[in-house]
Amino acid sequence: MPVFEYKGVDSKGKSVKGKMDGDNPKIARAKLRKQGIFPTELIEKQTKESSGSVTSGFKFFKRVKITDVAIMTRQMATLVKANIPIVEALNAIADQVENERLKLIMTDIKEQVNEGSSLAQALGKYPEVFSNLYINMVKAGETAGTLDTVLLRLAEFTESSVKLKNKIVGSMTYPLVMVVVGVVIITGLFVFVIPKITQIFADMERSLPLLTVIVIKISDTIRTQWYLVIGGFAFVFYTGKKILNSEKGKQKFDALILKAPIFGKLVRMISVSRFTSTLSTLLHGGVPLLQAMDIVKNVIDNHVIRSALVKARENIQEGQSLAAPLKESGEFPAIVTHMITIGEKTGELETMLNTISDAYDNEVDTTITSLTQLLEPLMIVFMGAAVGIIVMAILLPILDLNSIAGQ
């Protein structure tokens, strides 16, 4: 469906501008007049799919980041809390949003709500932007008449997710840069430096140390059979990806990750934090526990812990408490299941989940900071060792030659 940019005046004579969709200019003008806007200029810009979602025609716009959604949600919560009608709030958001793709999406959502759809239904047409958790929270808020509270909670939850993601990405940036620099340096030594040194060694007509022979062989292989090296890496990558894409492969890999020193503990803490914060947010929004468990399992990346949550959901449906199946799975720390048990007994499950989430968020921050401080010197040592071995392989024959000359 085409999208038109318009300029016009409203019923009060005030100049207005914005975007409106319609099958043709006549329908778009009729929609505007229905809203009390008299268009003076109407220009067709882009199109939308018949399903109501933004089409591939807009894919040249930068994608909608979770940060954009967090800011938009905070603004929306503020407007709704101020008792501004939902359509007016959506219109204000659409005008303020900087991301062009999100601007078009919010304009379309405003139109859908104006035509009688609920906010949750309109958001549901954009699953690539709004998660199942987000949509269900809004739906529960609309049903209970607590949309402003739900949006505030969603804003806090989304901002917390952004903070955690940025923390993880930030902690991995330096090590990744070090790895890339290290690979470039080592490859340069093998491709450009070693071949020149090899020619000198060939003229010596002497047997070379084993380390030097190995380094020369690696250099020759990289230079003369680079296609096999690249093909080997591609094969390993393809095979690994295929295995990890299978359910059995995911389970085994994620189980190994959980058993890994330091990293396993970090992954478990992040999973517990996401589980408790998400479940707390859903319960606060009025989403029933069983439905909340259906949603919350999808925010957990580790398949071992996700399977434990699926099993827990089945047991809850059969009448068990939440804490019991989590404890039986062995995937959740004892303190977590103990606190959940207390929360269920006292009727303060949501509060207890929130407390667990805050505690684990702080622990994740501390662990990531410590891990970053540990990785930086380790990467330097690793790079130094790799380059040192190559340099030693070059120096050994030269030192051997000098010792002979000295005799």
186-241 residue pLDDT tens? 889 888 888 888 877 776 667 888 898 899 999 999 888 889 989 999 999 999 98
Q: Does 382 lie in the same domain as 282?
A: yes
Cα distance between residue 129 and residue 70, in whole Å: 11
Same domain, 249 and 268: yes
Instruction: Check whether residue 164 and residue 138 sit in a common domain.
Output: no
Total structural domains in the chain? 2
- Shared-domain flag, residues 304 and 230: yes
Q: Which of 142, 157, 172 is the last residue in one of the domains?
A: 157
Range of 73's domain? 2-157
Question: What would the pLDDT profile of 109-168 be if each residue is shown by its tens digit?
Answer: 999 999 888 999 999 989 889 988 888 888 888 887 888 888 888 888 888 888 888 888
Q: Do 62 and 208 sit in the same domain of this protein?
A: no
CA–CA separation, 254 and 267 (whole Å) = 10
Q: Same domain for 144 and 225?
A: no
In angstroms, the CA 351 to CA 314 distance is 24
- For 365, the token pair is 């921050």
Report the range of poorest mean pLDDT among 12-26, 279-293, 336-350. 12-26
- Provide, for the chain, the percentages of residues in helix, strand and coil under a 3-state DSSP scheme, each rounded to the nearest 5: 75, 5, 20
Of 92, 122, 157, the residue at which a domain comes to its end is: 157
Same domain, 120 and 202: no
**Does residue 216 sit in the same domain as residue 145?**
no
Same-domain status, 250 and 118: no
Residue 7's DSSP bridge partners are 17, 41
Residue with tokens 């405003």: 110
- Please give the DSSP secondary-structure letter assigned to residue 291: H
330 φψ region: left (φ > 0), alpha (ψ -120 to 50), beta (else): left
Q: Pick the closest to residue 97 from 123, 79, 117, 71 (CA basis).
A: 71
CA dist., res. 28 & res. 25, Å (int): 5
- Looking up residue 285, the CATH number of its domain turns out to be 1.20.81.30
Identify which of 337, 323, 250, 262 has the alpha carbon closest to the alpha carbon of residue 289.
323
Q: How far apart are CA 121 and CA 53, in angstroms?
A: 12
What is the strand order of the sheet 15-21 is part of? Answer: 15-21, 2-10, 37-47
Same domain, 169 and 139: no
Q: Are residues 132 and 9 in the same domain?
A: yes
Indicate the range of 31-35, 246-250, 313-317, 382-386 predicted with least confidence: 31-35
pLDDT in tens, 25-65: 777 778 888 888 877 777 776 544 434 454 344 444 568 88
d(CA 270, CA 388): 37
The pTM assigned to this predicted structure is 0.68
For residues 339 and 196, membership in a common domain is answered with yes
Name every residue whose Cβ is closer than 8 Å to that of residue 7 and which is 6 or more positions away in sequence. Answer: 15, 16, 17, 39, 40, 41
Domain final residue, candidates 131, 157, 183: 157
